[in-house]
Amino acid sequence: MPVPCIRLLPLGRLAENRLAATPVVAPVAPAWGLRHHSHTLVLVVACAIGVYLCYRLALPFLSSLVWSLTLAVVVMPCHRWLEARLKSRSAAALISVLAVGLLVVTPALFVGQQLVMQAANGATLVNAKIESGEWRRAIDSRPRLARLADHIEQRVDLPGAAQKLAAWLTAGAAAIVKGSVVQVVAFALTLYLLFYLLRDRHAALRALGALLPLADAEIVRLRERVSDTICATVYGTLAVSAVQGLLGGLMFWCLGLPAALLWGVVMAVLAVVPVLGAFVVWVPAALYLALDGSWGKALILAVWGTVIVGSSDNLLRPVLVGGRLKLHTVLAFIGVVGGVLLFGAAGLVLGPVLLTITMVLLEIWRERTATEGALIPDGEGPGSGSAAGAPEQPAAAVAPAAAETRPPAG
């Protein structure tokens, strides 16, 4: 019986034979024309359109939404204490809203009434001073000022300008009264939204966290930064306005002007409003002193209001706000001023908040990118190795030799 002949083949040739016999399946690129991807694309477009329409719906209420959120963040410590004592979220929210309404409405009504009254009285007083010529007699005692007054009087109709100013101030006071109705409605809407933000804040935060593509720690971080920004903006603004009112009222008292305490409070309240400020009070007071012949007092008040009261905002705000706001002074300035120009009074808070949210999201993106880069070992990135993306073969394979039988020759 013939003995079969055995030939040993290396492992490399055996692997080549098996690879040649194995069918190669080419990777299939994602087909965006398939029904599944078409449905996904339609859903994305529908969501984008829905978000835009919801933004348009909320735009008329943007100011009330921003102020209600701001008040909710500011009063949250007191509200939590009250909620723990009452054991009722609705009752605690109602008491907090009523307290906020009293704290805001009472000063606003007081200051508004004083402004309307003093605007009308000031216009009447200025008109009477100019028509009587009393200001001219006070200036004639000073030759240099008399020549300047003659030059101005030849080119400007002062009595006519005073009458126009009085008419403008009267019309402006009436417009303020009419506009106050709209402001009352907006404030009532703010309190309405504040009630639900305080009562249902836990459900709102859970819903927001479920929608955001962020981890729980990142959501907590974003919420804390936004809260710090709102508190820093509000507390810093209130502190600066209080200092400006104190400085203005102190100078009124030193110069012997009437109702120094009252006008100090009015200046402090007006300093909170971005478009207005303490100058709305001290500029007419300086003009009154000048028309009354007290030129020295008028000059002192003008310099004090411009240099001391006006610059206190730029000096104190970075110190009081900068640490907690965690924004550079230039960025904080752009956020506040740009927010006011873009969104109105609500931009005082909304501008810095938008800057803070953007910076936090960029920081999270940078941290995620750095973490993903650290998880990839050296030499395993795209394009590394002898072939792009090909697995590296071992240098030598140690395996038993494969045997192939064949019949003997002959």
Residue 402 belongs to what H/E stretch? strand 402-406
Name the residue with higher pLDDT: 375 or 194: 194
The pLDDT > 70 percentage for the chain reads 62
Name the residue with higher pLDDT: 408 or 311: 311
pLDDT digits (tens, 9 = 90+) for 239-256: 888 898 898 888 888 888
Lowest average pLDDT, out of 28-37, 68-77, 84-93, goes to: 28-37
pLDDT digits (tens, 9 = 90+) for 317-344: 766 766 667 777 778 778 877 888 888 8
| Domain residue limits, the chain | 62-210, 212-372
34-38, 143-147, 227-231: which has the highest mean pLDDT? 227-231
pLDDT digits (tens, 9 = 90+) for 107-141: 766 666 666 666 656 656 666 666 665 555 656 56
Can you tell me the mean pLDDT for 14-36?
A: 52
Query: Where on the phi/psi map is residue 326: left (φ > 0), alpha (ψ -120 to 50), or beta?
Result: left
329 near 318, Cβ under 8 Å? yes
8 forms beta bridges with 403
DSSP code per residue over 282-296: HHHHHHHHHHTT-HH
